[in-house]
Amino acid sequence: MTTVTGTTTPQQKAAPAPASASDRNTSGITSDFETFLKMLTAQARYQDPLEPIDSTEYSAQLAQFSMVEQQVQGNDLLAAMQTQLGLSNMAAMSGWVGMETRTAAPSYFDGSNSITVSPNPAKVADTVNLVVKNENGTEVQRVVLPVSAEPYEWDGIGDDGAPLPAGVYSFTLESSKNGEVVLSETAETYSRVTETQMLDNQVALILQSGVAIPASSVTALREPVVSAPQPAGDPVS
């Protein structure tokens, strides 16, 4: 007679946690070291007894492998420290969210508030033009500015007197002398920071325009301001 025993349900086990990068590297080093020892043992076993391998060569190979192992572990430690430092910097710069940063990047025009442009024309220039383009790269306006570094408030009013649509605009400063452009570069503008992120172990700031810039590219920081339209140049038709 066959006896039927009850089926015992095994206890549910928690899924193992994924191995960290340092654990994977350590496991890889251990595996490589074991492979190295096997190769070294095979080399000693099948060596020519008439021309045995010098013991100093074994020592040199072991020393080289040990140096590589220490270098890998040192790199892992530096990478971990860099990540922690980046997170600390991101936390410190979280206070920049809501502030306005000055940088050479496109800015968002909401249809009402003006955008502060910080020109830096060439010293030899006798004419300075501010070229405004929309997010499609189409030139929508060209404004003559004084040859100075005085900030200019771009009010978003087109040459026909109608306001330009809300959107992302880029600003290029063209410095000319005797009718020839001697310098053309992206003008710095103030944009509001909406978020901070970690990108490639570096702190990045997400602007209102959606553009991500490295925090190191910021040249000025200020509280948000509501600027009244203040034309500083004559539009060029």
Confirm whether 139 is domain-assigned.
yes
Which of 189, 208, 232 is where one domain is finished? 189
The label of the residue with tokens 């301001």 reads: 225
Cα distances (Å, whole numbers) of residue 127 to 154, 165, 183? 18, 28, 11
pLDDT at site 13:
42
pLDDT at site 133:
97
Confirm whether 208 is domain-assigned.
no
Confirm whether 203 is domain-assigned.
no
Range of the domain at 185: 106-189
CA–CA gap between residue 119 and residue 137 (Å, rounded): 20
Q: Is 110 exposed, middle or buried (0-12, 13-18, 19+ CB in 10 A)?
A: exposed
The answer to whether residues 70 and 35 belong to one domain is yes
pLDDT at site 30:
56
pLDDT at site 39:
72
The answer to whether residues 39 and 77 belong to one domain is yes
Confirm whether 206 is domain-assigned.
no
Cα distances (Å, whole numbers) of residue 64 to 60, 67, 71, 96, 208? 6, 5, 11, 48, 52
Confirm whether 61 is domain-assigned.
yes
Confirm whether 237 is domain-assigned.
no
CA–CA gap between residue 155 and residue 145 (Å, rounded): 14
Domain count, the chain: 2
Which of 189, 205, 226 is where one domain is finished? 189
Q: What is the CATH number of the domain that holds 125?
A: 2.60.40.4070
Tens of pLDDT, residue by residue, the chain (237 residues): 444 444 443 344 433 444 444 455 555 555 666 676 677 677 767 766 666 666 676 667 667 766 766 776 666 666 655 555 555 555 667 788 899 999 999 999 998 889 999 999 999 999 999 999 999 999 999 999 999 999 999 999 999 999 999 999 999 999 999 999 999 999 999 999 998 887 777 888 999 999 999 888 999 999 987 655 444 455 554
Cα distances (Å, whole numbers) of residue 169 to 28, 110, 115? 50, 10, 10
Confirm whether 124 is domain-assigned.
yes
Q: Output the pTM of the full model.
A: 0.59
Residue 95, classed as helix, strand or coil, is helix
CA–CA gap between residue 213 and residue 70 (Å, rounded): 36
The answer to whether residues 112 and 180 belong to one domain is yes
Confirm whether 196 is domain-assigned.
no
CA–CA gap between residue 235 and residue 110 (Å, rounded): 21
